[in-house]
Amino acid sequence: MGLKIYGVLRSRATRPIWLAKELGLAYEQVPVIQVYRLPDPDAPGAPMHTASPAFKKINPAGQVPTMDDDGFVLHESLAISLYLARKHGGPLAPKDLQEEARMVQWSLWAATSAEPRTIQILYNSGPAGDAALRQASIDALAGPFAALDTALAAGGGHLVGGRFTVADINVAEVIRYAQAAPALIDAYPHIKAWLAACQARPAFREMMAERDREPA
């Protein structure tokens, strides 16, 4: 049966798929698109989407990504990445309980302290965006970004164990949304250098090239 990851790359499926590429895992990507992106999700020939009955049987919440690993079904992108790293081991995985705790800590930090603001920067950076909400989100990230910048400086450019791990993937993919505000990234030199290093990795570049080939 193998490993299946449900979701298009214009979603949070980028996180576990980047990790799978780093680990050299064989996987099947099942392209489930977000229903709100379809003008008529019930049209004949419409692709599988997050409200499709077939997908709702897999994830009743109707969200991507979802993973099916030989019958073990798991939701939430950050949890999927942590699971795959822990299962397959190697330098991206925790070497002990303390490293595992730090990886969970940073993943939760990304979800709670950063993503609610970084996603608003992304959504509101275009001409139709809410400029006030965008600026408020930038302002609200001053404290979290200062903490991240300090941690990266102390960790030699990484979040856990002085090396590139799943924690870097999970956090970098959340911080990527804030690149729609370049001045914000520029204000934190350790974040800027770390993000550039993460995004220079061949697995990330391969994943983003596939993402760019998807319909906008």
- What is the pTM for the complete model shown? 0.96
CATH at residue 37:
3.40.30.10
Tell me how far apart the alpha carbons of residues 32 and 8 are, in angstroms, rounded to a whole number: 6
User: Does residue 210 form part of some domain?
Assistant: no
Same domain, 20 and 103: no
Read off φ and ψ for residue 117, nearest 5 degrees: -95, -45
- pLDDT score recorded for residue 21: 98
Q: How many residues does the chain have?
A: 216
- pLDDT score recorded for residue 216: 82
- pLDDT score recorded for residue 1: 73
Same domain, 65 and 118: no
Contact predicate 50/64, CB 8 Å: yes
- pLDDT score recorded for residue 23: 98
CATH at residue 133:
1.20.1050.10
User: Does residue 185 form part of some domain?
Assistant: yes
Same domain, 118 and 191: yes
Query: Which structural domain, as residue segments, surrounds residue 26?
Result: 3-88
Residue where a domain stops, chosen among 88, 114, 129: 88
Chain segment 105-142, per-residue pLDDT in tens: 999 999 999 999 999 999 999 999 999 999 999 999 99
User: Does residue 209 form part of some domain?
Assistant: no
Same domain, 196 and 139: yes
What's the domain count of the chain?
2
Same domain, 101 and 79: no
Show Cβ contacts of residue 22 under 8 Å, excluding neighbours closer than 6 positions.
92, 169, 201, 203
Parts of the chain with a pLDDT under 50: none
Same domain, 83 and 171: no
